[in-house]
Amino acid sequence: MKAVATQSGTIVIAEVEPKELQYGHVRIRTEYSAISPGTELSMVNCSSESRILLGYSAVGIVEQVGDGVSRDLVGQRVACYGAPYVCHAEWLTVPTNLIALVPDKVDPKEAAFGGGGAIAIHALRVADLRFGESAVIVGLGTLGNLIAQIAHAAAYRTVALDTDARRAEMLRQHGLDQVYADQRLMELELSEAVGEAGADAVLLCVSGSGEAVTNSALTWIRDRGKVVIVGDLSMDYSRELMFQKEAQVLISRAGGPGRYDKQYEQENRDYPIGHVRWTEGRNLEAYIRLLADGRISMKKLITHVYPVTRAEEAYDNYRERRDVVATLLQYGHET
């Protein structure tokens, strides 16, 4: 089968064998997979002579089930998340802990971003907001846009910032009013949006040097507020600013509990819901439910769809153009 990989800093279309169908796993015929530009381009730039498969979020049709899995799943459309089980490939073999059923009314193109949806939801859980509290989201790529939409759907007082006016406008189209492309203007109007005490949490969905943006975030939050680092930021910030408010600076890791746990993922052992309410799999289900209920949407963010054979062009597009937000790879199967 065809799969997208990186090797020696380049994108290659590789021929690979589907993984063995293990207990608790299903085989999925991929319809679309979503590119995560920050994570994947970083992998490309750092790649060696060893070939590494790219991608972690997709949607497709279950064609075969392993032992321990109900036959009722065969023929069902599912979203799936989590490397190395999910990648940009024609066929995927995925544990059922990492899939979510996709209702007919949900566009499979939107469902393909389930990995990003789970990551966005987990980031808000790390912020640990309560009804009526406030969040500032910085960086409105796919992930930041989703976090802002979900925060708004949850009735948090939501403010968003991106230096790209086009990305700010994309978010405004989802009904959010406090969206800014000018940091100074946002700071002038912040107290009106979140209250005089400051925001309860700031979520940073940007990458690169973290000192300036993290220090700014520490001035925006209330006493004992939180700064959640979601993007690939360096951990440089002022101890004095953090000390003044006894602030918390937190890291959000992937899609939630279960990620990187061999027993949860490969061995498909779920955590008891009474002990772990929101796993990465349950966060994936929550994303699909938000789509089904019409509370969030990816449609206006999807700017490009490429056949998998043109994957190199899709990645080059991210490097060369600023108007690229969300990109899908499409597979040649009939659905």
How does pLDDT run across 9-27, given as a tens digit for each residue? 999 999 999 999 999 999 9
Confidence of residue 179 (pLDDT cuts 50, 70, 90): very high
Q: Identify the CATH number of the domain defined by range 120-251.
A: 3.40.50.720
Query: Does residue 124 have a pLDDT over 70?
Result: yes
Convert the pLDDT of each residue in 63-80 to its tens digit: 999 999 999 999 999 999
Residues of the chain above pLDDT 70, percent = 99
In the chain, which segments carry CATH 3.40.50.720? 120-251
Structure confidence at residue 320 (pLDDT): 86
pLDDT tens by residue, 236-256: 999 999 999 999 999 999 999
**Strand pairing category for 77-81 and 52-53:** unpaired
What is the chain's mean pLDDT, rounded?
95
* Nearest residue to 90 (alpha-carbon basis) of 201, 206, 3: 3
State how far the Cα of 186 lies from the Cα of 188, in Å rounded to an integer: 5
Tokens representing residue 225 in the block: 């507020």
Residue 323: the pLDDT is: 80
What is the CATH topology of the domain spanning 2-113+258-330? Quinone Oxidoreductase; Chain A, domain 1 (3.90.180)
For the segment 167-182, the average pLDDT, to the nearest whole number, is 96
Model pLDDT for residues 134-166, shown as the tens digit of each residue: 999 999 999 999 999 999 999 999 999 999 999
CA angle 47, 50, 55 (to 5 degrees): 60
Which two structure tokens, joined as six digits, stand for 56? 């972690």
Query: How far is residue 231's CA from residue 249's CA, in Å, rounded to a whole number?
Result: 13
What pLDDT does residue 324 have?
Answer: 86
Query: Looking at the predicted structure, is the pLDDT value of residue 273 above 60?
Result: yes
Summarised one tens digit per residue, pLDDT across range 22-70 is: 999 999 999 999 999 989 999 999 989 899 999 999 999 999 999 999 9
pLDDT of residue 334: 38
Q: Are strands 25-34 and 57-65 parallel, antiparallel or unpaired?
A: antiparallel
Which pLDDT belongs to residue 135? 98
Tell me how far CA of residue 278 lies from CA of 122, 186, 303, in angstroms: 8, 33, 31
Q: How much is the average pLDDT of 254-266?
A: 96
Instruction: Note the pLDDT tens digit of each residue in 292-335.
Output: 999 999 999 999 999 999 999 999 999 888 788 899 999 985 33
Dmax (CA) of the chain = 59
Intervals of CATH 3.90.180.10 along the chain: 2-113+258-330
User: Cα angle vertex 236, ends 36, 204, to 5°?
Assistant: 40
pLDDT digits (tens, 9 = 90+) for 188-214: 999 999 999 999 999 999 999 999 999
